[in-house]
């Protein structure tokens, strides 16, 4: 597929504590597999998948950033912290959507959500679409965070909420495809971060109402 062979390009950034399943969610969606023995993400990783929605090609660029930078931060001097800030800023800045993930079997990953929200507020565009994802629902017997609690939290924060299992492929397609639909719809209203989300020059399409979006 050539560079131009798509109608929309969206950048989706996955954030959340280490080990909650961000990489597995993206690999499930982009490659259709659940990798055995996944190592922690080092630096920044990305995966691309192009999907067709209502006859339009949507290229989705998924970005993952390893969490080891948090501990790096603790030992960095002021200059280092500045460098860290600019890396974080550029990582968030052009994101069209953020998928904030926690692990339903790990209370700690849920309790860290406000910290992630502060980071979003500080660095991301105010037009970014944020989805809260509770992953690993195949481990229901080890659940530490109830669905109701997570729903209340996401409602209070004005975020969509979805529970997934990257392992069993539960709700993974729904997560990414519903997000793509919402991004198309927002791009048509020109409310997105404009640099990567608009149709390419000369490729603008007539506006039609999308019925595929299915959040909540
Ligand atoms: N049971 C179960 N395990 C999962 C699921 N998703 C991920 N895991 C496991 O959780 C561990 C961490 O998954 P990753 O996808 O590497 O997590 P991550 O959030 O990308 O972690 P970092 O790269 O360290 O930020 C791995 O052992 C996965 O096999 C899931 O839906 N169910």
Q: 64 with 17: CB under 8 angstroms?
A: no
The distance in angstroms from the start CA to the end CA of the chain is 33
When pLDDT is cut at 50, 70 and 90, the band that residue 18 belongs to is confident
Closest CA to 21 of 94, 95, 105, 143: 105
Q: Where do the domains of the chain lie, and which CATH numbers do they carry? A: 8-195 (3.40.50.300)
* Per-residue pLDDT tens digits for 19-59: 999 999 999 999 999 988 767 776 678 899 999 998 999 99
DSSP assignments along 6-62, one per residue: -SEEEEEEEESSTTSSHHHHHHHHHHS---TTPPPP-SEEEEEEEEEETTEEEEEEE
The answer, yes or no, to whether residue 86 has pLDDT greater than 90, is: no
Q: 98 with 128: CB under 8 angstroms?
A: yes
State how far the Cα of 214 lies from the Cα of 136, in Å rounded to an integer: 21
Query: What confidence score (pLDDT) does residue 110 get?
Result: 97
Token digits for 159?
């975020």
Q: What was the ipTM of the complex prediction?
A: 0.98
The answer, yes or no, to whether residue 199 has pLDDT greater than 50, is: no
Query: What confidence score (pLDDT) does residue 198 get?
Result: 44
Ligand 1: centre distance to CA 26 (Å): 10
Query: What confidence score (pLDDT) does residue 93 get?
Result: 86
The answer, yes or no, to whether residue 202 has pLDDT greater than 80, is: no
Q: 132 with 113: CB under 8 angstroms?
A: yes
Residues with CB under 6 A from ligand 1: 18-24, 38, 40-41, 66-67, 135-136, 138-139, 165-167
The answer, yes or no, to whether residue 208 has pLDDT greater than 50, is: no
Mutate to test the pocket of ligand 1, among 15, 17, 166, 171 (most ligand atoms within 8 A of CB): 166
* Per-residue pLDDT tens digits for 155-175: 999 999 999 999 999 999 999
Closest CA to ligand 1's atom 25: 18
The answer, yes or no, to whether residue 132 has pLDDT greater than 60, is: yes
Ligand 1: centre distance to CA 110 (Å): 15
When pLDDT is cut at 50, 70 and 90, the band that residue 74 belongs to is very low
Helices (H), the chain: 22-31, 68-75, 78-93, 107-111, 113-123, 147-156, 172-188, 194-197
Token digits for 137?
């629902």
Quote the pTM value.
0.84
Query: What confidence score (pLDDT) does residue 211 get?
Result: 38
The answer, yes or no, to whether residue 79 has pLDDT greater than 70, is: no
């Amino acid at each position: 597929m050539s560079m131009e062979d798509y109608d929309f390009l969206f950048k989706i950034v996955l954030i959340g504590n280490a080990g909650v399943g961000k990489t597995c969610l993206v690999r499930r969606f982009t490659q259709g597999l659940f990798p055995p023995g996944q190592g922690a993400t080092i630096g920044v990783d990305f995966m691309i998948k192009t999907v067709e929605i209502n006859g339009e090609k949507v290229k989705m660029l998924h970005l993952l950033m390893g969490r080891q930078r948090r501990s790096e931060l603790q030992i960095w001097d002021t200059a280092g912290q500045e460098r860290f800030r600019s890396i974080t800023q550029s990582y968030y800045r052009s994101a069209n959507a953020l998928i904030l993930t926690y692990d339903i079997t790990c209370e700690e990953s849920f309790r860290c959500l406000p910290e992630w929200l502060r980071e979003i507020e500080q660095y991301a565009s105010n037009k970014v679409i944020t989805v809260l994802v509770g992953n690993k629902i195949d481990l229901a017997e080890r659940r530490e965070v109830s669905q109701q609690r997570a729903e209340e939290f996401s409602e209070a924060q004005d975020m969509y909420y979805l529970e997934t299992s990257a392992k069993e492929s539960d709700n993974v397609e729904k997560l990414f495809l519903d997000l793509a639909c919402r991004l198309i719809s927002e791009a048509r209203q020109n409310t997105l971060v404009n640099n990567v989300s608009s149709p390419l020059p000369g490729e603008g399409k007539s506006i039609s109402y999308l019925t595929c979006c299915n959040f909540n």
